[in-house]
Homo-oligomer: A and B are copies of this chain.
């Protein structure tokens, strides 16, 4: 039985301790940061995918896949343009700039790592897709690397 002399640092189950306030705050700040860029990333990634698969990215298709109205897409396209991620002319389909392509590529890769990781954990495809769509924006490079490695090992060792 544990006694008062058993005074190793508390490694017990619960870990019910709060981090110091500053670290805690940084945690939430990181989440807020992710939320600032995540929708942009999803749009750019989707536009890249549409360009690859359909040859062009039309506002209608973006709206259908995003599950939002065209008006919402129109305003987002303007914002992407303002940020130098896409080029577009009125009533024509949308294209990625060099920067846009780079972001699309990076997002696509990261998204893929998370999706494959979930699958390799044993999560069914539909669920994995849903979870990955949200999780991808909250995964650090560190964790991403570990996920990549894990997936590889699973694939090798069946």
Q: How many residues of A contact B (CB 8 A)?
A: 53
From 84 to 141 in chain A, residues with beta carbon under 8 angstroms from any chain B beta carbon are 112, 115-116, 118, 121-124, 126-131, 133-135, 137-140
Bound CA–CA A14/B25 (angstroms)? 39
A134 near B133 with CB under 8 A, answer no
- Residues on B with beta carbons closer than 8 Å to the beta carbon of A112: 15
Could you tell me the dominant secondary structure of chain A's interface residues?
helix
Does A75 sit within 8 A of B, measured CB to CB?
A: no
Residue of B nearest to A126 (CB): B23
B31 near A133 with CB under 8 A, answer yes
Chain A to chain B contacts (Cβ below 8 Å), 25 pairs: A15-B115, A18-B53, A21-B61, A25-B66, A26-B130, A27-B129, A29-B67, A30-B130, A30-B133, A118-B143, A121-B146, A121-B147, A121-B150, A122-B146, A123-B142, A123-B146, A124-B142, A128-B143, A130-B140, A131-B139, A131-B140, A131-B143, A134-B138, A135-B135, A135-B139
- The 4 A-B pairs with the shortest beta carbon distances in the complex, nearest first, are A134-B138, A25-B67, A31-B134, A24-B65
